[in-house]
Amino acid sequence: MHPGAHAAVAPDRTAVVVEPPGTAVSYSDLDAGANRLANLLAARGLKPGDSMAVWLENTPEYLEAVWAPQRSGLYYTPISSRLTAGEVAYILEDCGAQALITSYGRRSVAETLAGRLPGLHTRLMTGGTIDGFEPYEEVVAAQPTTPLAQMLEGRSMLYSSGTTGRPKGVKRTLDRVPLGTKGFDSVLGLGTTLYGYSDDMVLLSPAPLYHTAPLWFTMAVQRIGGTSVVMEHFDPEDFLALVERHRVTHTLVVPTMFVRLLKLPDEVRRRYDVSSLRVCIHGAAPCPAEVKQRMIDWWGPVVHEYYGGTEGNGFVACNSAEWLAHRGTVGRSLGGPVLRILDDGGEEVPVGQIGNVYFEGGPDFEYHNDPEKTLAAHDPRGWTTLGDLGYVDDDGYLYLTDRRAYTIISGGVNVYPQEAEDVLVSHPAVLDVAVFGVPHEELGEQVKAVVQLVDPAAAGPDLEAELIAWCRRRLASYKCPRSVDFEEELPRQPTGKLYKRLLKDRYWQAAGAPGPASG
């Protein structure tokens, strides 16, 4: 299914509500807007297999901006609204985008793209415009609302990375099948099977749509004909108010949101009726067991957890009852790709032993323009990994113990230390640097830097503030350290390899948290 099918039978049904300001978009309007944009992209020469990018906040235009390429057989790359000019330019160039849709709110960064990226021939801006960009509303409105003669399923290509190098686009083959082909959207299959997706559902999505799960789960709602309520920004009390106001049946969150909800005063939490909730889905980051227990106590057994990645190579899940019986699990495989736990030699390890988490038989993928990273994610049998460590119990439930490549998950967002390390080491005062995650009550982990200085006598609060500011001028703030400590010398092997484990373990043990597993 797709929005056009629902527009044909229920044109006035609400597809999306953006809060605030409470702007509602009907299926008829969503379908018409997506058709207009699809016609514009085709008129500008984009053909199936080509690429475009969407660089927007959560706005009413976001969903038509992704449904247009989804029905045009294109690759489309959502870009974080928090990135710096250099980071945005890199992604646009790497994904080969020929068209970009952004907003007037991004103008200060967007204007730096002038004269760059000659292949980016179509640049549209919503809510106002600047030199080098066309007004989205005006240009799109001039196009017909008739569907393309041939509507083919496109694919999102989202950017992810490990601890080395720039982010890489996760790319899967375009099947060139008609829009609405049954079984094409695996998230919809999971939604109907596990989470009771139906045309009477109301999904509250409080996270930015440029993240994988919010985008995929929201688009799945529009395939089935339900309603999505999208928050411009997460606020815990506003979240509860929206559940009550819209009689929300489903929501998708990250554990940080649980923490902030639980920190509301009791009288505020009791003020709102959340009895309409049937399913609360969470993933993307470790959830402290005590936090999850308190959420189940509050909302009842509606809390579901999953583990998977943008790569789409495998999926495990559990409901509240399963989690209570297997406290700490992220779930078990539900058919399809088979979960495998392997040692570093590629052999399966016994139940209960920590190893590398792989999936057998899942959809294949590649990291765009990075054959080495693609190869590293595959074993000789074609089994694939996201780079995590974990173990399974006797019943096949998976427990994650570490990120193999030291990726930091802060507030549900992946942070890749190499980017901050590369920036910090370029500071004149820095001789060596290690960046890693340390425990944080709300965020799960927060970014910590440990620095070796050229002149150890320069260490102190002033230099700490200077290094953080240095990083924030060059990277999105969430990628930068919240604090910097100084060491006389960082532990490195004679080969130059950093013993980051020794540093990281020290901080985790000092915080009283279980040390990350070795492996």
> In the block, which residue shows the tokens 């106001």?
245
Q: Are residues 58 and 126 in the same domain?
A: yes
Instruction: Indicate the SS3 state at residue 253.
Output: strand
Residue 414 one-letter amino acid: N
- Distance between CA 403 and CA 418 in Å, rounded? 14
* Strands laid side by side in the 338-342 sheet: 338-342, 355-360, 384-392, 398-403
pLDDT at position 304, please? 97
Q: Are residues 349 and 429 in the same domain?
A: no
Instruction: Give domain status of residue 321, yes or no.
Output: no
pLDDT digit string, tens, across residues 450-478: 999 989 999 999 999 999 999 999 999 99
- pTM given for the model: 0.79
Domain boundary among 379, 405, 431: 405
* Strands laid side by side in the 430-440 sheet: 430-440, 444-453, 483-487
Structure tokens at 260: 């902030």
Q: Are residues 441 and 465 in the same domain?
A: yes
Query: Which segment of 351-365, 413-427, 477-491 scores lowest on mean pLDDT?
Result: 413-427
Q: Are residues 393 and 496 in the same domain?
A: no
Instruction: Give domain status of residue 64, yes or no.
Output: yes
Q: Got the DSSP string for 9-28?
A: H-TTSEEEEEETTTEEEEHH
Q: What is the mean pLDDT of residues 382-389?
A: 89
pLDDT at position 387, please? 86
> What CATH code is carried by the domain that includes residue 361?
2.30.38.10
Instruction: Give domain status of residue 315, yes or no.
Output: no
pLDDT at position 495, please? 39
Q: Are residues 216 and 163 in the same domain?
A: no
pLDDT digit string, tens, across residues 245-292: 999 999 999 887 888 898 899 999 999 999 999 999 998 766 777 789
Structure tokens at 14: 């609400």
Instruction: Give domain status of residue 36, yes or no.
Output: yes
* Number of domains observed in the structure of the chain: 4
Contact residues for 227 (Cβ-Cβ < 8 A; gap 6+): 13, 14, 15, 16, 17, 201, 202, 203, 221, 246
pLDDT at position 114, please? 82
pLDDT at position 494, please? 42
Query: In the predicted model, what is the mean pLDDT of the chain?
Result: 90
Q: What is the mean pLDDT of residues 232-252?
A: 96
Q: With DSSP H G I counted as helix, E B as strand and the rest as coil, what are the percentages for the chain, rounded to 5?
A: 30, 25, 40
**Residue with the larger pLDDT of the pair 194 and 413:** 194
Structure tokens at 211: 């993240």
CA distances 273 to 204, 206, 429, Å, are 15, 18, 55
- Distance between CA 519 and CA 501 in Å, rounded? 11
Count Cβ atoms within 10 A of the Cβ of residue 13 and give its class: 0-12 exposed, 13-18 middle, 19 or more buried.
middle
pLDDT at position 256, please? 77
- Distance between CA 278 and CA 303 in Å, rounded? 9
Instruction: Give domain status of residue 266, yes or no.
Output: yes
- Distance between CA 133 and CA 111 in Å, rounded? 9
Q: Are residues 38 and 100 in the same domain?
A: yes
Q: Are residues 350 and 499 in the same domain?
A: no
SS3 per-residue string spanning 345-400: CCCECCCCCCEEEEEECCCCCEECCCHHHHHHCECCCCCEEEEEEEEECCCCCEEE
For residue 162, what pLDDT band results from cuts at 50, 70 and 90? very low
Q: Are residues 123 and 110 in the same domain?
A: yes
Instruction: Give domain status of residue 351, yes or no.
Output: yes
pLDDT digit string, tens, across residues 62-115: 999 999 999 999 999 999 888 888 889 999 999 999 999 999 999 999 999 988
- Helix (H) or strand (E) run with residue 280 in it: strand 279-282
**Ramachandran angles phi, psi of 118, nearest 5°:** -60, -25
Structure tokens at 346: 């590629």
Domain boundary among 122, 141, 171: 171
Q: Are residues 381 and 303 in the same domain?
A: no
Instruction: Give domain status of residue 382, yes or no.
Output: yes
Instruction: Give domain status of residue 358, yes or no.
Output: yes
pLDDT at position 516, please? 41
pLDDT at position 215, please? 94
Q: What is the mean pLDDT of residues 486-514?
A: 73
Q: Quick check: 485 pLDDT over 90?
A: yes
Q: Quick check: 323 pLDDT over 80?
A: yes
Q: What is the mean pLDDT of residues 325-335?
A: 91
Q: Are residues 395 and 430 in the same domain?
A: no
pLDDT at position 24, please? 96
pLDDT digit string, tens, across residues 286-320: 677 778 999 999 999 999 999 988 888 899 999 99
For residue 519, what pLDDT band results from cuts at 50, 70 and 90? very low
Domain of 209?
185-310
Q: Are residues 82 and 191 in the same domain?
A: no
Q: What is the mean pLDDT of residues 371-396?
A: 91
- Distance between CA 160 and CA 166 in Å, rounded? 9
Q: Got the DSSP string for 69-129?
A: HHTBT-EEEE--TT--HHHHHHHHHHHTEEEEEEEGGGHHHHGGGTT--TT--EEEEESS-
Domain boundary among 405, 430, 452: 405
What percent of the chain shows pLDDT beyond 90? 66
- Distance between CA 90 and CA 477 in Å, rounded? 17
For residues 184, 185, 187 and 191, what is the CA-based torsion angle, rounded to 10 degrees? -90
Q: What is the mean pLDDT of residues 5-31?
A: 95
